[in-house]
Amino acid sequence: MKPIKILIVEDEYIISEKLAHNLKGTGYIVLNIVRSGEEAVKEIKTETPDIIIMDIKLDGKLDGIETAKEISKTNLVPIIYLTGLTDPNTFNRAKKTSPASFLTKPYNQVDINNAIELALHNATLAGSMKSEIIETGDKNLFILNDRIFVKDSKNCFKKIEIDDIFFIEGGGSYSTINTIDGKYTTSYTLKAIEKRIDNKNLLRIHRSYLINLNKVERIIGRNHVILEIIEANSSTEDITLGPNKTGRYEKKKISIGPEYRKTLDRHIRFI
């Protein structure tokens, strides 16, 4: 899983450094700390964060609200306002930008953690992307079209890219997500995940398997598919997977359930 990437837009040095330290300590990645709206707009052109935490009063010509408007023209990133301005006019201006949350200074880390969770909960991206939440007790799983967010033992949300998934295996009351980076078990059924995910590359081919069609190497007859799984961080037969990733190939044969064969035929063109 990959840590969520956060951009901090804050012109007060002590606050920004403390916030960055707290976020890193929780397990998030702080992409950068910038002091002005102009820097923020420039920064997201280099790398898009998953969440922005932004003050409203900033250095430069753009305040946080105007910066949010500029960013929304090209990137739909959840924005959490963190400000010392609490007057009705500022709040009403901020509200028009549909922020993920509006926090006032001084803040505490619990407020920040809750705001991040709320931002993921309410995330609704453009086009065909949608977000859903599955709730069981005090655990959360957030699903978007191209990624899944899961909460770890430190109450920090981590990201699994859909493109990095080989298959998801159901095991009754839980599921195991098999990815380039390893295996991750969640306390959610395969049916619950399938019901909420909307990605054309993930397809149910068996009552116990949801596979990534992009990872299919072969289809044998009408009964099995072969996925070429990469076992991450293996010490033998190393191959390059990307930055700082090595592993070895492993074949995974998955049976095609008779009731799912027609669905598979519609998604894969046979010659």
Q: What is the pLDDT of residues 28-75, one digit of tens each?
A: 999 999 999 999 999 999 999 999 999 999 999 999 999 999 999 998
Task: Reduce the DSSP state of residue 155 to 3 states and report it.
Answer: coil
Distance CA 203, CA 196 (A): 13
Q: What is the pLDDT of residues 233-263, one digit of tens each?
A: 443 333 333 444 445 567 888 999 999 888 8
| C-alpha–C-alpha distance, residues 92 and 56, integer Å | 13
Burial class (CB in 10 A: 0-12, 13-18, 19+), 28: buried
Tens digits of residue pLDDT in 173-186 = 888 888 888 888 88
Q: d(Cα 111, Cα 233) in Å, to the nearest integer?
A: 36
Fold of 161-267: OB fold (Dihydrolipoamide Acetyltransferase, E2P) (2.40.50)
For 187-228, what is each residue's pLDDT tens digit?
Answer: 888 888 888 777 888 999 999 999 999 888 888 877 888 887
Considering the chain, what percentage of its residues have pLDDT values greater than 70? 83
Antiparallel, parallel or unpaired: β 175-179 and 182-186 = antiparallel
Tell me the per-residue pLDDT of 126-168, one tens digit each, with 9 for 90 and over: 333 444 555 443 356 777 777 888 877 677 888 888 889 999 9
Does the CA dihedral 108-135-50-61 come out positive or negative? negative
Task: Name the more confident of 223 and 24.
Answer: 24
- What is residue 207's predicted lDDT score, i.e. its pLDDT? 93
Question: What is the pLDDT, as a whole number, of residue 16?
Answer: 96
Residue written as tokens 């599955």?
134
* β-bridge mates for residue 211, sequence order: 167, 203
- Each domain of the chain, given as residue ranges in start order, spans 2-121, 161-267
> What's the mean pLDDT when you consider all of the chain?
83
Phi and psi (nearest 5°) for 169? -110, 125
Res. 19 pLDDT band, cuts 50 70 90: very high
> Could you give the 3-state DSSP secondary structure of residue 62?
coil
Domain 2-121 has CATH 3.40.50.2300: yes
Backbone angles phi, psi at 114, to 5 degrees: -65, -40
Q: Write down the pTM of the prediction.
A: 0.72
Q: Which of 33, 5, 9 is nearest to 116 (CA)?
A: 5
Query: What is the three-class DSSP state of 269?
Result: coil
- The strand pairing partners of 176, in sequence order, are 169, 185
